[in-house]
Amino acid sequence: MADDVVVCRGVTRTYQDDAVPVLALQGVDFTVTKGEFVSLAGPSGSGKSTLLNVIGGLDRPDAGGIHVDGVHLNELSESELSDLRLSKMGFVFQAYNLIPVLSASENVEFILQLQGLPAAERAERAQAALDALGVGELAHRRPGELSGGQQQRVAVARAIVTEPVLLLADEPSANLDSNTTEELLALLRSLNETRGVTILAATHDPMVMSFAKRRVQLRDGMIAEDSARVAVA
């Protein structure tokens, strides 16, 4: 139990879509243990993004409980959720989502600044993170001056610079070509293996699934297939 980074129990989430209730999650039970690299797959509408969002504290379930690193998310306020994301989670989005007015290193440092770290330590850690992802030389460029792959690397650097307990990725390869995707995934895997970063990636890209150690398939708001469970069984 102490090694469980994410624990979901009976998580249900319903959306009101044009007056028709859409059941996005129907009582999902789901656990991620420390050091796992999990891919969440499924067709659109299967609930994979919703699951990722409720785990990330971006959305709240209608029923059921979610614990991240032992913290019960249901009991937290918006501001406390913000702080939790800041200290324990890293995010990688499909559209990179860097701040256009800040340079690459500033985008990475920014997170540390939110955490209130001193300037010298920030600069050092940001540079180390960028170096680790192979974009150390581009530190002073703004997002507009970087290629898609480079921007996504900066986004990953931003996600891991806080040494989060959990790295959440939402369709990280959606805007990348296959070569760049492969490079990115290799990087994520090495982060997972060498640093023990727990990764949860929502995707429908088979290449992402092939890099993940555990593959979870959702359908109609329920877990249809879980490679871990199969292995156990």
Binding site for other proteins (CB under 8 A): 49, 53, 56, 58-59, 78-79, 82-87, 89, 91, 93, 95, 97, 99-102, 110-111, 113-114, 116, 158, 170
Strands 71-72 and 63-68: antiparallel
Q: Which is nearer to other proteins, 161 or 209 (CB)?
A: 161
In the chain, what is the straight-line distance between the N-terminal and C-terminal CA atoms, in Å?
20
Q: What's the CA gap between 192 and 35, in Å, rounded?
A: 7
Report, in Å, the least distance between residue 85 CB and other proteins. 4
Q: Which is nearer to other proteins, 166 or 215 (CB)?
A: 166
Type and span of the H or E element at 15: strand 4-17
Q: Which is nearer to other proteins, 14 or 93 (CB)?
A: 93
Strands 222-226 and 4-17: unpaired
Report, in Å, the least distance between residue 110 CB and other proteins. 7
- At residue 106's C-alpha, the angle toward residues 100 and 109, to 5°, is 130
The amino acid present at 64, given as its one-letter code, is G
Report, in Å, the least distance between residue 60 CB and other proteins. 11
Report, in Å, the least distance between residue 70 CB and other proteins. 18
Among residues 176, 161, 172, which one has the least CA distance to residue 211?
172
Q: Which is nearer to other proteins, 153 or 214 (CB)?
A: 153
Q: Which is nearer to other proteins, 49 or 150 (CB)?
A: 49
Among residues 155, 152, 200, which one has the least CA distance to residue 175?
152
Report, in Å, the least distance between residue 57 CB and other proteins. 9
